[in-house]
Amino acid sequence: MERIDFPLSQLTFAQKLDLMETIWGDLAMDEKTLESPAWHEAVLGDRKKALSAGKVTVSDWEEAKDRIRKNISCK
């Protein structure tokens, strides 16, 4: 496999996040190649318990991204 050099240091924080989302979206298109580590199941179980107990709430992904963007500097 050929390595691709990309000038990451020249990108803004927002551009880097956008690039990560684009790459993840491409990887996630083929779920069969994605293997979650065993510890993911334990973390998800803990989060489901916390949600059921009313200790946490959930957000729509787009709303969460907007909230994150408002709370960080993208300069």
Q: Is the pTM for the entire model greater than 0.85?
A: no
Q: What is the mean pLDDT of residues 60-67?
A: 90
Query: Which residue shows structure tokens 């334990």?
Result: 42
Return the closest-CA partner of residue 33 out of 24, 41, 42: 24
HSE-CB for 18 with a 13 A CA cutoff: 6
Quick: pLDDT tens for 5-56: 889 999 999 999 999 999 988 888 887 777 888 899 999 999 999 999 999 9
pLDDT of residue 29: 85
| Ramachandran category for residue 6: left, alpha or beta (phi over 0 → left; psi -120 to 50 → alpha) | beta
How long, in residues, is the chain? 75
